[in-house]
Amino acid sequence: MCFCGNTQTFEQCCQPFITGVATPKTAEQLMRSRFSAYCTHAGEYILKTYASKTRTEHTVEDILLFAKQVDFVHLDVIQTEQDEQYQYVEFKAAYIEGAVLSALHERSRFIQENGAWLYLDGELYPTDSKKVSRNDPCPCLSGKKFKKCHGK
């Protein structure tokens, strides 16, 4: 299973986008590959898939700082939409920081530049955080207890 939740392996799914062998055909593919890039700490890819307008607000260092501080464990793509100019992807990305499970619930906006989909910006929705107990099932849905999986 790929980090992004697709049933294909990472090598068949998001990795070709991250290494530049393939180009995502939809904003959803791009969004999934950026999620997988957070999981694999591919900071350069995350930076270069920002739209030119918002890219300058970020650095590889800042991106990696966040990516290493949290463990993304699960991605849910809720819905995708498009209008003449943009594609939108609403998703929930669950992550663990210490023993606290939080989620990023966002409706992201994507724009096409030179034939490639790029992340422009997003609207955040409020989410709850909760503490995960050591004997709880791990939020990554591995079937293991938290203490034997991401809680180690």
CB atoms closer than 10 angstroms to residue 70: 17
Asked if 31 is part of the footprint of Zn ion (rule: CB under 5 A), the reply reads no
Asked if 4 is part of the footprint of Zn ion (rule: CB under 5 A), the reply reads yes
Query: Shortest Cβ distance from residue 83 to Zn ion (Å)?
Result: 25
CB atoms closer than 10 angstroms to residue 103: 21
**What CA–CA distance (Å, rounded) separates 133 from 121?**
34
Q: Which of 48, 140, 145, 147 binds Zn ion (CB under 5 A)?
A: 140
Q: Which of 19, 23, 127, 142 binds Zn ion (CB under 5 A)?
A: 142
Helices (H) and strands (E) in the chain, counts: 5, 5
Report the half-sphere exposure of 115 (CA within 13 A, side-chain side). Answer: 2
Q: Cα angle at 101 between 39 and 30, to 5 degrees?
A: 35
Asked if 2 is part of the footprint of Zn ion (rule: CB under 5 A), the reply reads yes
Asked if 138 is part of the footprint of Zn ion (rule: CB under 5 A), the reply reads yes
Stretch that binds Zn ion, among 10-18, 64-72, 81-89, 106-114 (CB under 5 A): 10-18
Query: Shortest Cβ distance from residue 109 to Zn ion (Å)?
Result: 21
- Judged by the rule CB under 5 A, the positions of this chain that interact with Zn ion are 2, 4, 6, 13-14, 32, 138, 140, 142, 149-150
